[in-house]
Structure 1
Amino acid sequence: MKPLFSTVLALCLAAPAAAAFEDEGLPEALVSTDTLKNVEEEEEPQVQERDEDLAAFVTDYIRKDTQLKGAFLVEDRASKKIYKLELVTVEPKAPAGESGARTVTVHFKDQAKKKFTALFRVQTGPWGGLDIFRIDLQIPGVKPSPVLKPAPAKKEKR
C-alpha cells in the first residue's frame, strides 16, 4: 500500500512542475549566440590561455611528475639515453606554433650540472583543457636532426 501511495503522490506533484516549466518557456529550444565558424577554425583549436597560465601549467606538470618519479625523466631518442633532470626555470613567454599549438621553453640541469632545454608543445585537449602533446629535448653540443623535406619534382623538358 505504501508503494502505491508514494507513486500517486509523485505523479500528483509532477503535474504542477511541468506546468511551471511551460509557463517559463523552458521547454523551447535554446538558441546559441556563438558566431558561425568556418571549417579551418573548427579543425584547429586555438590555445587561448595567457602565457603565464601556460608556464604555470607546464611547471605544475613537471613538479607532479618529479614527485611521482623522483626526477623529471626524458629520453633522448637518438642515443636511447634517459636523463634525470631538475627544473631550473620556465620562460614566461609561450610563442605560437603550428596548428594553434603554443611552445613553452623550460630549462633543466642534470646531476652533473649540465644544462638542458626542453620545448613543451601545448595544445587544447579533446576535453577542453590543455594537453602537452610533445616534448623536444635540446642537448647542448648535439645538433638537432634537420627536418627532411621532399625533393622538388623534376620538370620534364619537351
Structure 2
Amino acid sequence: MPNPLDTINKSLRLIFFSEKALMSLMLDRRHTFNIFFMYGISLVIPFRGLEGAIQPENFGQMVEGVMLTFIFIGLIFLYLPKKTGVFMATTRVILSFEAMSVFLPVTFLLNPQQLKYFHPAFLAWYLSLSVFAVSKIKGYGYVLSTIVVFASFIATVLFPAFFV
C-alpha cells in the first residue's frame, strides 16, 4: 500500500491539473483505501455556506453529500469506456478532487459578500477538474467533456428534487 502522504501529494497535484498525477491515481489501485479515507475526512471539514451557516450541520448532510457524489460519479461513468476497472479508476480520480476541501476553512475568514464569490469559484474549479479528468480518461475534447460533466452535474443537482 502506498504511503498516505504520497496519495495526498498526488491528489493535491491533481487539483492543480497535473496529468501525471491523474494517470498515477487512475492506474494505481493501491491508492484506493487512502483516497476513500481522505474522502471521509473531507466530509467533516467545517466551512461556512453561502448563507453563512456552518456546514456540515448534521450527519444527514454528510450522507446526502456521499450519495450525491456517487450519483455524479455514476453518471460520469455512463459516458466512459466500458472496460474492466474504469469505474474504480474514475472513482479514485473524482474522490481525489476532495483534496480541495483543505481550502474550505478559508470561508471562516471571508465576509458574507466574499462567500458569494468563493463558493461559485470553488464549484467551477471542481467542475473544471471533472472536465479535465473526463477528457483525459475518455479522450474527448474539452467541449464534449464539458457537455458530459455539465449534464451529469445538472442531473445530480436535480436528483433530490424527485424525492421532495
Q: Higher helix proportion, which one?
A: 2
TM-score range relative to shorter protein: under 0.3
Q: TM-score, normalised by structure 2?
A: 0.24
